[in-house]
């Protein structure tokens, strides 16, 4: 008769059975992860290893590059308590606890992104949390060597729920598809010239500080190719920081805002009149103390002579004279012309941020008058610059681009070449004899126009005693290559400007300083004897 198993033998059998069960569980789990979840694992690994292509300026200088970092990922199915894990990881890695809880609940995902670019201290905290199923993976962080200098045009990137980098604003967003899944060594060449960008940023910031402006911006545009060589908007932000600092903004006023730009819009009124042979530069127009249209009276911003030659109407920026010239074309023709110039539609470039212009729903005689001197119609500085470039480049349409494209980009003929030539003469006359004198740069034959507009009240009822000042400059004016447009929002007069904040005192000198610094860099030849258009009525 056999003896029964002792208590020790039974314990050994039970222990062995538990070991076998545990081993079987591990084997089953390994098969599940390595076989059934293999495809998902590979797709997550591919996302982890994704690389974003470099952005470089037109001369090859790096503007944005992915640098290697350590990212943290988690396997939710390894957690016994997903809620506790989410809390612990949020404390250790600085991740959003609510997001982690939501993502951990989606058990179909084998890996969940936790945090990007962890510091060594944060990695230690994660390890001390003692959680299973965590992995540090090599990843990338977007770095901008020039910081604020290019922030508003390049924009910034962020992360989706899977930890993949996506463009959130600026060219990072506009070129997102082209930049994703790139390879080290590849790059996308932009039209931006960092030499021009630094100069523009420096001068715009100096003028904003000098005149205590709320915001300020500017751009430099090649009028033949459409390339944007520089774009600045202040205030800006640090694209390498995780959060915005006090007073910082991602808002790009040059490409995103629309303004009533005021008298700089007279460029289009004179172009239309010249195109339709409705005006001669030497004809005399009565100015007086006001011009009545029904129950409305048009006034001047500054005192004007009793009469002015048409060229002096533009040079001295007379609202009354411009109104008379615009009314010769009439509402229908004015609207048709502005639409043809692209000013009544949103402009489309690689920048995703763009607003539609604002203009009158009813376009009658009064609207024709106010629009002629830049009130009652709001456009973005970028859209204005594109239309102005067509006025001076021989009359052909250009589409602004932020990609390097040195070939001639001029398209459809919008105005006659002879109209363009006559307008270049008039714009030069504004600088030599009118409100644009402070933009003149000896040897570079600058042409341009000032713009000073009262800001419309919020809600559209009347105007505030606040200005938006701007200056549109082209050089060299008789063979134009570049356009500079600058804008100051709510500038204040200073002792040096005798308290005046009009564009001739604020925006014009800013444009002149930019031109004097970028013209030699861009290889624009300097004339020994600058061209001066014959003087008309003083």
Average pLDDT on 428-457 reads: 95
- Six token digits for residue 158: 């962020």
Beta-carbon contacts of residue 495 (< 8 Å; ≥ 6 apart):
none
How many Cα atoms occupy the beta-carbon half-sphere of 346 within 13 Å?
12
Q: What is the pLDDT of residue 37?
A: 44
Lowest-pLDDT range of 11-25, 431-445, 457-471, 512-526 = 11-25
Cα 102 to Cα 41: distance, rounded to the nearest angstrom: 20
Topology (CATH level 3) of domain 196-237+253-521: Beta-lactamase (3.40.710)
Cα distance from N-terminal residue to C-terminal residue, the chain: 135
Residue-level length of the chain: 538
In sequence order, what DSSP letters do the residues of 331-362 get, joined into one string? Answer: HHHHHHHHHHTTTTS---SS-S-----B--SS
Domains 49-189 and 196-237+253-521 share a fold: no
CA 28, distance to chain mean position in Å, is 55
Say yes or no to pLDDT of 45 above 70.
Answer: no
Say yes or no to pLDDT of 141 above 90.
Answer: no
Q: Where are the domains of the chain?
A: 49-189, 196-237+253-521
Q: What is the pLDDT of residue 33?
A: 44
Average pLDDT on 87-92 reads: 94
Residues serving a catalytic function are 263
- Six token digits for residue 370: 């106010």
Q: Which residue has the higher pLDDT, 174 or 28?
A: 174
Topology (CATH level 3) of domain 49-189: Penicillin-binding protein 2a (Domain 2) (3.90.1310)
**pTM for the predicted model, two decimal places:** 0.84
Cα 409 to Cα 386: distance, rounded to the nearest angstrom: 12
- Six token digits for residue 410: 């001029």
Say yes or no to pLDDT of 1 above 60.
Answer: no
Averaged pLDDT score across all residues of the chain: 89
């Amino acid at each position: 008769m056999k003896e029964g198993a002792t208590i020790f033998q039974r314990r050994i059998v039970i222990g062995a059975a538990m070991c076998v069960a545990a081993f079987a569980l591990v084997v089953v789990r390994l098969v599940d992860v390595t076989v059934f979840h293999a495809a998902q694992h590979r797709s997550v690994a591919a996302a982890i290893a994704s690389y974003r292509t470099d952005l470089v300026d037109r001369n090859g200088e790096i503007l944005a590059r992915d640098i290697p970092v350590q990212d943290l990922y988690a396997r939710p199915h390894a957690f016994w308590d997903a809620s506790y894990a989410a809390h612990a990881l949020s404390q250790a890695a600085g991740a959003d606890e609510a997001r982690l809880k939501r993502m951990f609940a989606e058990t179909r995902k084998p890996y969940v992104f936790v945090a990007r670019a962890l510091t060594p201290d944060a990695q230690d905290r994660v390890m001390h949390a003692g959680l299973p199923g965590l992995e540090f993976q090599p990843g990338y962080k977007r770095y901008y060597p020039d910081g604020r200098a290019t922030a508003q045009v390049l924009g910034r990137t962020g992360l989706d729920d899977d930890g993949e980098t996506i463009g959130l604003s600026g060219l990072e967003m506009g070129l997102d598809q082209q930049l994703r899944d790139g390879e080290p060594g590849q790059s996308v060449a932009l039209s931006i010239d960092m030499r021009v960008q630094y100069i523009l940023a420096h001068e715009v910031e100096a003028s904003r500080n000098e005149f205590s402006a709320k915001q300020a911006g500017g751009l430099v545009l090649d009028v033949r190719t459409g390339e944007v060589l520089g774009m600045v908007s202040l205030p800006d932000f640090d694209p390498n920081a995780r959060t915005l600092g006090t007073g910082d903004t991602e808002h790009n006023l040059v490409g995103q805002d629309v303004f009533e730009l005021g008298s700089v819009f007279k460029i289009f009124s004179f172009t239309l009149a010249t195109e339709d042979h409705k005006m001669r530069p030497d004809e005399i127009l009565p100015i007086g103390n006001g011009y009545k249209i029904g129950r409305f009276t048009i006034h001047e911003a500054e005192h004007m002579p009793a009469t002015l030659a048409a060229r002096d109407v533009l040079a001295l920026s007379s609202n009354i004279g411009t109104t008379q010239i615009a009314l010769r074309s009439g509402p229908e023709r004015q609207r048709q012309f502005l639409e043809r110039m692209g000013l009544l539609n949103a402009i489309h470039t690689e920048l995703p941020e763009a607003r539609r212009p604002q203009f009158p729903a009813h376009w009658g005689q009064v609207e024709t008058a106010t629009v002629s001197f830049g009130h009652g119609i709001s456009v973005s500085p970028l859209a204005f610059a594109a239309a102005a470039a067509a006025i001076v480049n021989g009359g052909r349409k250009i589409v602004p681009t932020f990609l390097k494209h040195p070939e001639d980009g001029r398209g459809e003929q919008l105005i006659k070449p002879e109209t363009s030539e006559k307008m270049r003469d008039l714009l030069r006359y504004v600088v030599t004899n009118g409100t644009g004198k402070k933009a003149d740069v000896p040897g570079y034959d600058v042409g341009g126009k000032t713009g000073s507009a009262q800001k419309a009240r919020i809600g559209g009822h009347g105007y505030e005693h606040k200005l938006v000042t701007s200056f549109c400059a082209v050089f060299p004016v008789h063979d134009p290559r570049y356009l500079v447009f600058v804008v100051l929002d709510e500038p204040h007069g200073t002792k040096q400007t005798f308290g005046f904040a009009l564009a001739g005192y604020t925006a014009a000198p800013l444009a002149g300083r930019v031109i004097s610094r970028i013209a030699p860099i861009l290889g624009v030849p300097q004339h020994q004897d600058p061209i001066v258009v014959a003087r008309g009525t003083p």
